[in-house]
Structure 1
Amino acid sequence: MASGSSAKKVARLAQKGKGKKVRFQDGTLFPTVMAVVVILGFGLISYARQAPSATDIAPTVSDRWHIPIGFYHCDSFLQDLQGDKQGGDVADPNFTKYGVFSREDGVIRWYPQVAAAGKKAKLGVYLETYGVTVDTKGITFPADQNKGVSYKVDTDKCKDENGKEVDATVQVIVWEKANDSTVSKRYITDFKNIRIDRDEMAITIAFVPTGAEIPMPDSAEKLAEIVAAEYGAAPTTTVKGATTTSVAAPTTTGG
């Protein structure tokens, strides 16, 4: 048991501590930091509520887009990709996964599943669905498309206007609208990552000499009729012209 003198000392110390305020180290620094954290937290919550979610970036799973596409070799278009992946008695696994297909008319139907929506909507999805390889080395079709032909940059040539064989490269031209050929971009690499970012854009994948003029796919002129047949939309008129900007496709990472 504590002695009487010890008890008195404890009582005196307690008496001295009455009315004194507890201060944090460095004065008001800690309360200030906490206030900043709270303000930033509210700011981030507000931003998160206003920023569009990944599922809101077009195309969404509720969109139904139509995109003319063609494969151009030297000076003429090849046959449109064959096979309606949406039809058939057995579901095609790529259609089930992506919801992307065409109907042998040179028009992609982009009716995306989650795997082909938003920022995942890329040209490579369509190419994968039909087993076509397109890269800087060449264009290769599977056995059931264009007789499985392969055009290689290292070995295959095209003829120029004088009939002379010249080297060829793989290029992709993307028009913002299929009814307006005045605005386009030329891609020279990373083709599978070209974004599908608007309805009724148009695409030509070409194996041609450098600097060659690459036309819009033939299906672009028929797009209005195709859409009208499917949805009853009124046809529009294709406008001719040519202004092309050369760029490299955006390289992306992740899914």
Structure 2
Amino acid sequence: MSLVAVVALGAVLIFVSRNDRAVAEAPILGDHWHAAVGIYMCGDFVPNPNDAKQDVSGIHSHGDGLMHIHPFGTRYTGEGANLAAFADTVGMEIEDDRLKLASGEELSNGDDCGGRPGQVQVKVWESNADQQGRLLEGGFADYAPQDGSMFTIAFVPEGTDIPRPPSAGNAPTDV
């Protein structure tokens, strides 16, 4: 193989890998995304989360039922624009088996929820057109919503139908 062919092949591979990586890293610095969010506790939505401290990540809420995603640093781009960053800003903690709300209320899998054992669950809808949604199997803190998606953090008995957040479809379309 000639040197020119090797160099050309190398250049093509670098271009392709950079394109793939750029797509995988969204949201990037300068993006301004929104995802609808609700917290559903034993059959009722609780008040929308609001920032509990200074936002250092660019992943926050204004109490409007939306997770605002406009990363302030590369640590919070791509998969770093996740539920853990959001929870930290709004004063919550979320693990696969435990949920602590900004109010201080803490619930763990097996705690009472309307006379039945409840469990932490997260249901995700990829867009307003997604009528079915899907339950995350775990890794709740690592969930990184996409622009226009929606999710409900729930503490409910297994098998409970988890509704979309009340703010579904309220994300601005002009940013």
TM beyond 0.5: yes
Separation in 1, partners of 2:96, 2:161: 18
Q: Does 2:149 align with 1:201?
A: yes
TM-superposed deviation, 1:72? 0.8
- The answer to whether the 8 Å contact 2:61/2:67 transfers is yes
1:158 aligns with 2:158: no
Tell whether the 8 Å contact from 1:135 to 1:191 is kept in structure 2 after alignment: yes
Q: In structure 2, how many angstroms separate the alpha carbons of the residues matched to 1:38 and 1:80?
A: 60
Q: Name the residue aligned to 1:250.
A: none
Note if 1:182 corresponds to 2:131. yes
SS of the residue corresponding to residue 124 of structure 1 reads helix
Query: Retained in 1: the 8 A contact 2:59–2:81?
Result: no
Report deviation, 1:122.
2.0
Question: What SS does structure 2 have at the residue aligned with 1:127?
Answer: helix
CA contact (8 A) 1:60 1:118 kept: yes
Distance 2:162 2:135 in 1: 10
Q: Which residue of structure 1 aligns with residue 16 of structure 2?
A: 50
Distance 1:36 1:102, change over 3 A: same
Deviations, residues 126-172 of structure 1 (Å, cap 9, x unaligned):
1122232112322112xxx2x21111214x2122xxxxx11111110
Provide the aligned length of Structure 1 versus Structure 2. Answer: 172
CA contact (8 A) 1:102 1:108 kept: yes
- Asked whether 1:109 is paired with 2:68, we answer yes
Root-mean-square deviation (CA, aligned residues, Å) is 2.4
Matched residue type, 2:106: S
* Paired AA for residue 49 in structure 1: F
Aligned to 2:47: 79
Give the ranges of 4+ consecutive aligned residues of structure 1 lying more than 3 Å apart after TM superposition: 35-42, 53-57
Query: 1:169 and 1:153 mapped to 2: Cα distance?
Result: 4
Residue 215 (structure 1) aligns with: 163
Measure how far apart 1:119 and its partner are.
3.2
Structure 2: unaligned runs, 5 residues or longer:
none
**Structure 1: gaps of 5 or more residues:** 1-34, 86-91, 160-164, 234-255
**Structure in which a larger fraction of residues adopt helix:** 1
Aligned to 1:246: none
Question: Cα distance, 1:120 vs. partner?
Answer: 2.6
Listed as ranges, the matches of 1:1-255 within 5 Å are 35=1, 39-40=5-6, 42-51=8-17, 52=19, 54-56=21-23, 57-83=25-51, 92=54, 95-96=55-56, 98-113=57-72, 114-141=74-101, 145=102, 147-154=103-110, 156-159=111-114, 165-177=115-127, 179-196=128-145, 198-221=146-169, 223-224=170-171, 227=172, 231=174
C-alpha displacement at 1:82, in angstroms? 2.3
